[in-house]
Structure 1
């Protein structure tokens, strides 16, 4: 009995000792956040065809509240690049918002030859849909071809689809791909009617506020202004001459110089608004209206507004990056940005929204501009490469129509024709590659199925691999010389290559939880979504291969 009593006393003493060592936390005083800390609104702002150097080239002429506010109050990743080729609008928007690359997301170009259907495929085409807001076919679109999801999709998932996502662009692909698969609304401009329209993928009828805006015919109001320079033309010292032969011309104009008469388009050519800086203004005006009417950023559930300004691309293609037209376009966009920031400060609250600006691609200089300044550059046409290859196939192998097309700097063979000929496909490809390497415009030609064994700089090999989708891409990749531009026109300019003028893009974050600063570390377009996911504390999109920009997220 005494032994039992002693054991009980020892157990009791041990228990009291342990109780003194372990103290139950006071859950009432423990600081657990009631909700995840996120901004009220995220605004993604993509400027189509914006070269990185535009941030600084026109810096002295920018207002304090536009691009200068971005640079001085935001965080800039100064060396941000596109990690794939070709550098085009659709892959750019897709990669920014998925954190993925064409090899994974399926958007390998603006359009491509699809061997499964035996024809060209437009990046966002979907003939199972119908146009909403117009009688045209401009709404037969959806994100169906995008094989992964987006940061906007992940935000919707993270909030049990309570977050609202609205995407806006003059271009269908500039709206649809950022909005992702589950956007509440994606709107783009219909050149036939002049309306902002959408697709039955999103809704069966336009909201009242969109119909009311369309009824205003704002495009005609902008056309009535004509287009002259914002400031005296003699102050545009960062640009080429006012009228040069390698700049494109508007219809019915005898030259490319200012002023540009636009009143002629009123009620006749709604598509032309895209080729004027007013297209950017109209896009941003419509986006501000969406914030108001859709109640974006009005509660504690984070919303997302994706804006893509497309007029910069149309104007850049026509006049080139050294034109007075481009300088004037960015000075006007600077004012539009200032108005957007002021509006967001007032409606959502300064510090309550997270803003980022980037670009889908850059642009080359006009070859003639470089040549007159003694820098090597020329024009060529892929059509001439196609004809030469076709002739070679007939003479060397007696093969007719062995090559379907040369597109996106890739050669696409008709595999069935070659298979039926009993020829060795590797021999045929190598013959074509050897021919291409001898052409004046070509720096190199690569068998895409044997890329890993090709001697190339690691960076270029990676970009080619990231752009190669085995179900959609061609057989041979053509790498053109730097500053050589594929064009059948004697004027205008474009993009698509891996070189820095096409692949070095701006990336600046501003607002919620962003401290001013810069980094010279190399980052990629795919890192934008990874950074957003980290800041918002949500899952990265399912195809994301990017890494967070730690200078921002830490």
Structure 2
């Protein structure tokens, strides 16, 4: 795909359905000196639409820009790493190679933490445990910007290493920061901002301060308690224990913003002749969703705090005084806990039976074939199912067939596909919200990294056990091919914008070519899956 080098800042006139360059009449408005890409982990389109009337600060302001309320992470494996890999590459996981947060390598074992494993984490070298972007198979917007102009400054700051690396790209000399559980860090031998010690100290103090959370007043009507058999309760108005997990609070997002604003100032982003890029990944919404679900007072309070933080970001950008563009989206959506969903009309909501988890399924297959070792790799249920390379070759097909039959017999499973079946399916085309399940799975399929089987659960099935401790256990999730996990908002905003809303279903892979078009960056035809969105009506 190519975009014209002779465009005004907001004169982009590409249509959704074409990858052919078009020219636009120049205006007096300059191109942006700074692109700010904001990604909110687990910020579903459902959350955006539910809380949009309550936003009063930053998110309210961004919602006056160009709004695509039915954006999609189009693939089936709706997890953090695959989702982030699509946003600034313009490519689906089938092209980026990031098919999941973790995948297995049955033919290759690694030593990690004194144990032998076949697991590869999407942002770490399994041999050294060093954070790396090496598994990303394609270039990011930042990679392309820096290749076109070596003076372009690229920075990414996020709450998770996999978010920061997927947004920043392959150049480990960029200012790429992530929270490691104790402090913000970067790649080995890469530099840190001079003021990062103060940010880390403030974050550590916040993390060690055990203060009851004052639930937002606008959220009290959403207090909907759910009590589990263990006695764990969520959805209550206030509790000191509820936010004892610091990452599941707005304080975590505030620390990420502090680090991002530090980078903005120290690197003087947007203040040179070139266009710079700052990507920010907020993770607290995801942790709140996992620990308390998406439907209670905890998520509501998180949304109100996030709104204020985005307002703080916009204020600082205005203070910098350079032309800028903000884009905002999410890596995936999420679903509420099945217990509350069942109370509220989703009668099919349930937790996945333990017999389908890898350890139990592995034991079942091994007993059927009298195998001495494990038949299936992995500790947690994921759509990709990997079989041990130690299974004798003459028994491998039977092992896969036995497992497939058991998965398909479960009333929790919607569809099972083999590697061979997925490999025959062409890359999906057409309206993303009308794709079949097979097409959604194909968008996550990499023949080098995908499993022997892909198992897709039915709607509202959660592959997590009930909690035993408040605020610690994951009790709700995502990673399914269903709409609540695929739909994400996509927003563009800049000062003086003439906003509009377009309800057509679009994809996260459309963001990168849209931003590239705004700065006149050419993207070779065939390099990406996305198409530039037409923002010409929003021109100043």
Same fold? TM cut 0.5:
yes
Asked if residue 99 in structure 1 is aligned to residue 99 in structure 2, the reply is no
Asked if residue 206 in structure 1 is aligned to residue 198 in structure 2, the reply is no
- Of the three residues 473, 489, 505, the one matched with 1:506 is 489
Which residue does 1:545 correspond to in 2?
529
How far 1:356 moved relative to its partner?
0.6
Which structure 2 residues correspond to residues 44-443 of structure 1 after superposition, within 5 A? 44-63=37-56, 65-72=57-64, 74-118=65-109, 119-126=118-125, 140-159=130-149, 161-182=150-171, 184-191=174-181, 194-200=182-188, 203=190, 205-214=191-200, 216-221=201-206, 223-224=208-209, 226-232=211-217, 235-237=219-221, 239-242=222-225, 244-245=227-228, 257-261=236-240, 272-349=245-322, 352-375=323-346, 376-381=348-353, 384-386=356-358, 389-390=361-362, 393-394=365-366, 396-401=368-373, 403-405=375-377, 407-419=381-393, 422-423=394-395, 425-426=396-397, 428-443=399-414
Counterpart CA distance in 1 for 2:106 and 2:199 is 42
How far 1:222 moved relative to its partner?
6.3
Alpha-carbon distance change, 248 to 170 in structure 1, aligned in 2, over 3 angstroms: farther
How far 1:157 moved relative to its partner?
1.1
Counterpart CA distance in 1 for 2:477 and 2:397 is 33
Normalised TM-score (structure 2): 0.82
Alpha-carbon distance change, 365 to 263 in structure 1, aligned in 2, over 3 angstroms: closer
Work out which of the two has the higher radius of gyration on C-alpha atoms and give 1 or 2.
1
How far 1:295 moved relative to its partner?
0.3
Counterpart CA distance in 2 for 1:71 and 1:505 is 14
How far 1:522 moved relative to its partner?
1.5
Which structure 2 residues correspond to residues 17-28 of structure 1 after superposition, within 5 A? none
**Mean alpha-carbon deviation: is it higher for 445-454 or for 298-307?**
445-454
How far 1:477 moved relative to its partner?
1.1
Counterpart CA distance in 2 for 1:107 and 1:385 is 22
Alpha-carbon distance change, 538 to 113 in structure 1, aligned in 2, over 3 angstroms: same
Counterpart CA distance in 2 for 1:221 and 1:451 is 47
Counterpart CA distance in 1 for 2:282 and 2:45 is 15
How far 1:232 moved relative to its partner?
3.4
Aligned residues of 1:167 and 1:307 also touching (Cα < 8 A): yes
Counterpart CA distance in 1 for 2:207 and 2:421 is 52
Normalised TM-score (structure 1): 0.80
- Aligned CA-pair RMSD: 3.2
Counterpart CA distance in 2 for 1:98 and 1:513 is 28
Aligned residues of 2:78 and 2:478 also touching (Cα < 8 A): yes
Counterpart CA distance in 1 for 2:511 and 2:286 is 21
1:430-487 Cα offsets, whole Å, 9 max, x none, are 4432322111211221113113778x98432221111111111111111111001101
Which residue does 2:8 correspond to in 1?
none
Aligned residues of 2:224 and 2:296 also touching (Cα < 8 A): yes
- Whose helix proportion is higher, 1 or 2? 1
SS of 2:145's equivalent in the other structure is helix
How far 1:66 moved relative to its partner?
1.4
Aligned residues of 1:403 and 1:411 also touching (Cα < 8 A): no
Alpha-carbon distance change, 56 to 103 in structure 1, aligned in 2, over 3 angstroms: closer
1:9-53 Cα offsets, whole Å, 9 max, x none, are xxxxxxxxxxxxxxxxxxxxxxx99x9952010000000011112
Aligned residues of 2:361 and 2:376 also touching (Cα < 8 A): no
Structure 1 unmatched runs, 5+: 1-31, 130-136, 266-271
Which residue does 1:41 correspond to in 2?
34
Q: How many residues align?
A: 488
Aligned residues of 2:158 and 2:177 also touching (Cα < 8 A): yes
Which residue does 2:501 correspond to in 1?
518
How far 1:143 moved relative to its partner?
0.6
Which residue does 2:11 correspond to in 1?
none
Which structure 2 residues correspond to residues 456-495 of structure 1 after superposition, within 5 A? 458-490=435-467, 492-495=475-478
1:117-156 Cα offsets, whole Å, 9 max, x none, are 2310111113687xxxxxxx7xx21111111110111111
How far 1:219 moved relative to its partner?
3.3
How far 1:317 moved relative to its partner?
0.5
How far 1:111 moved relative to its partner?
1.1
Counterpart CA distance in 2 for 1:336 and 1:291 is 16
Alpha-carbon distance change, 61 to 219 in structure 1, aligned in 2, over 3 angstroms: farther
Aligned residues of 1:152 and 1:179 also touching (Cα < 8 A): yes
1:401-438 Cα offsets, whole Å, 9 max, x none, are 4622264222212345241xx24x55553443232211
How far 1:70 moved relative to its partner?
1.1
Counterpart CA distance in 2 for 1:43 and 1:71 is 16
Counterpart CA distance in 2 for 1:371 and 1:405 is 32
Aligned residues of 2:152 and 2:275 also touching (Cα < 8 A): yes
Counterpart CA distance in 2 for 1:476 and 1:264 is 38
